[in-house]
Structure formats: C-alpha cells, structure tokens
Amino acid sequence: MRKFFAPLLVLAILLMVVAPVLIAEAPYEATMGLIQKIFYFHVPSAMMMMLSVFICGIWSIIFLLKKRPAADHVAVTAGELAVVFGLFVLVTGPLWARIAWGVWWTWDVRLTSYFLLWMIFVGYLLVRKYGGPGSDKLSAAMAIFGMANVPFVYVSVDIWRTMHPKTTVVTTLGEGMAIPFWFCVFAFLVVYSLVFVSRLRLEEQRARVEQLFLEASDI
Amino acid sequence: MFARVVLLVMRKDLTIEVRSREILYTTLFFAVSCVLVFAFAFVREGEPLGDAAAGILWIAIAFAGTLALGRAFERERHAETLRALMLAPAARPAIYVGKLLGILALLFATELIIVPLVALLFAAPFFSRPLLLAGLLVSGTIGFAAVGTLFAAMLVRARSRDVLLPVLLYPITIPVIIAGVRGTAALVQPVVDPAIIVMLISLLVAFDVVFLTLSLWTFEPLMTE
C-alpha cells in the first residue's frame, strides 16, 4: 500500500489543481447558470459514495463467509469513505437546490432515499465504534443490508416522479461539459484511492498494534 | 426436520409469552401511548390532519415492534438460552424462522388492537378495503420483523444493544415503513385507487423477499462465534 501513496498524492494534487480551471472554462448551463457548476463535484462525490457502498458491502460478504480480517479492514475503510463522500453530496446538493429549486431540502424520493443510504452507513460506523466485541460482524451485516438498498435508491429516480435530475443526464452531456465532468470523475477517483490506501494502511496498523498488545498481555 | 425445528422454537416462544404475557401487554401499552402522543401533535381543534392516521399507525407499529424485538431476545440472553439454542443440533436458519414467526405472531396480535384503535380515534376509514389493508400490514410487518429478528439476535451479545437496535433497524427498514405509510394513506383517501396500493404491496413483497433471503443467508455466519 505504501508504494502507491506518493504517486497517488502527486497525481491527486495535479488533478485537483487543474479541475477548477476546467470547470471555470466549461460552458454555462442555459437556465441555471453558475450554480450548475457544483454538479462537477456533486455527481463524482455521489459516484464515489456508491463505489464505497459496493466495496463495503462486497468485502463485508467476503468477511462473513471467509472470516478474513483483511476483508474487514477494506470494508471499514470503504464504510468510512462512504460517509465522507456522502456528506459531500449532502452538502453540495442543498447548495445547488437553494438556487435551482428555491429550497435547501425537499422530501423528494431521490433525496430521501439517498439520505437513508447515508444514514445506514453512519449507523455502520456507530455500530463499529460502540458495538463492543463482535461489532465487526454486526457492522458487516449492516453493510450488506445497506448495499441491498442501493438498487431501490438508484431506480427510485426513474420510477417515481421526482424533482431531482435523472441519472441519464450524465450520458447526454454536450462535449463542453462532458470533458470537465469526466475529468472531475477521474480526479475524484484518484483522491478516493489516495484516501483509501492511507486509511486502509492505518486500519492494518491499528489491527497489528492490537494483535501485539494481545500477545504482550498474554505473557 | 426444518419445519419441526421452526415449530418447536416458535412454540417455545409463544408458550413463554402465553404464560407471562409480558411482551404483549407492554408492547400494546407502549403502542397505545405512542398513538396518544401523536394525537397531540397531529390533531388541531379536534380534527386530525389529513393522512396523519396512516403515519401514526406505522410509527406505532415500528416503535412497538422494536420494543418487542428487544424484549424477546433479552429473555434469551438472561439464562444464556440463546447459546443453548445455537448449540442444539438444528439448522440455524430454522431457529431464525422460528424466532421470526414468534415475533410476527406478537406483532400481528398488537396490530389487531392498534389498527381498529387508530381507525376509531382518528376517524380513518381503514376498513373500506380490508384485503388491501391486510396485504399492506402483513407484507410490511414481515419486512420489518425479518430484519429486526436478525439484528436483535446479533445484538444479544453486543454492548449497548438497547441503543444499537433502533440505530441499525430504522435506517434499513424505513423503506418498508414509507411504503406502508404511503399505502395506508392511499387507503384513506376519499377515492381509493387500488392500483397504487397493489403497486406498494408488491414493492413491500420485494423488500420481504430481499430481506428474508439476506437474513436467512447471513444468520448462520453471524451467529457463529
């Protein structure tokens, strides 16, 4: 993990310096104007959260079935990042909605279901922290059920009438917007990987210290 | 063999309950107090607000359900009987299903009282379509209890389980409660559109299938020490 850190850090800094320039140069959206540009951070954050949710869920399944602590380390890292990136989404969303819809928040299906998904992963972290011994398994179950909720979240926009833009908006972007958008997605992916490897290493170190402590107290 | 274990576990739970009636009475009392508290929030000048009855009904069911789940497993913890159950040479999923059926019986018994009570107090025409109402209640309660039984069983050994049960249970089961509330609210409209209610019932059934499958599948690894 360590050898990835430096190159990822350099790449992440570079991308994050270029991203605002590209976003500033991108064409203005006809009706929303400047505020639409928040979309370049909002949507990639949401994508990273979804990625996190799946990583957390799948590695939780592996952990439950194979009982390998390494899988649990990956799951807890992804679980934390899901909450962090979910928070980005929940902060940037209302900022945009205040201008576009005139309200900070509306109890729309999409918003509600996303908020719920985020709550599930906050619950995941709470269980980990306060569940005591055996909380790794408890939280793994939470993550699996959280992942099972994703299809309902994703489909919700397309089934129910909702104010939130549909997910198809991404594939129908004009070239002027598509390039900065996918650049931002890539930049977020790199930042995500950077934080991921650092946090994963931290978790592994923590587990090792715990192991050493247990061995030492046996003597 | 599977069915026999399920029946035995359920019969054990129901026998204890019939002898003490502890969970049924406390849950029922709690559900009625919930309804009372909401009555103050959602009634203006003697008239209940719009769809309040549907929401009140489901929140009362969810809160009372959490209480029942907590109690049902607290009982197992007391004399380490859950460990004894796990040591028994029986399929783990069968034990889960047995516990689930016990909880469901309790929740349905509570609903038998709560639903007419809410209908009466809030002048809500719940019984205009009894079959649709039953469909919503049964599918909704199964979804809630399926996840609830799994988590309550897992939490038996955890620290601060009383706090963690709602923390785990509510975010995951809120979709079920939302569908239940929407369906029940559609039921009390002046003009009932059965299509919407049937759609919500099928959504609830989809949740039930997903939650039950996941629970049956994870119960074994989760309950293994």
Which residues have CB under 8 Å from B193's CB, separation 6+? B186
Q: Which of A62-71, A204-213, B37-46, B99-108 has the lowest mean pLDDT?
A: B37-46
Residue to mutate among B218, B219, B225, with most A CBs inside 10 A, is B218
Specify whether the CB–CB gap between A78 and A128 falls below 8 A: no
pLDDT at A219: 67
Domain boundaries, chain A: 34-214
Specify whether the CB–CB gap between A79 and A132 falls below 8 A: no
| Phi, psi of B44, deg, nearest 5 | -115, 125
Which residues does B contribute to its contact with A (CB < 8 Å)?
Answer: 147, 150-151, 154-155, 157-160, 163-164, 167-168, 171-172, 174-175, 178, 210-211, 214, 218, 221-222
State whether A149 and B160 contact (CB < 8 Å).
no
pLDDT at B17: 87
B117 to chain A, closest Cα gap in Å: 29
Mean pLDDT, range A14-25, rounded to an integer: 85
State whether A148 and B151 contact (CB < 8 Å).
no
As for the ipTM of the complex, it is 0.82
Distances (CA, A) of B37 to A14, B30, B217: 57, 10, 39
Mean pLDDT, range B171-180, rounded to an integer: 88
Which residues have CB under 8 Å from B83's CB, separation 6+? none
Question: What are the chain A neighbours of B214 within 8 Å (beta carbons)?
Answer: 144-145, 148
In one letter, which amino acid is A141? A
Mean predicted lDDT score pLDDT of chain B: 88
The shortest CB-CB distance from A126 to any of B150, B167, B174 is to B167
The rounded distance, in Å, linking the Cα atoms of B61 and B63 is 6
The rounded distance, in Å, linking the Cα atoms of B145 and B56 is 18
- Residues facing residue B44 across a β-bridge: B47
pLDDT at A2: 72
| Phi, psi of B121, deg, nearest 5 | -70, -35
Query: In this predicted model, what pLDDT tens digit does every residue of A124-140 receive, in sequence order?
Result: 999 888 877 778 888 89
A142 to chain B, closest Cα gap in Å: 7
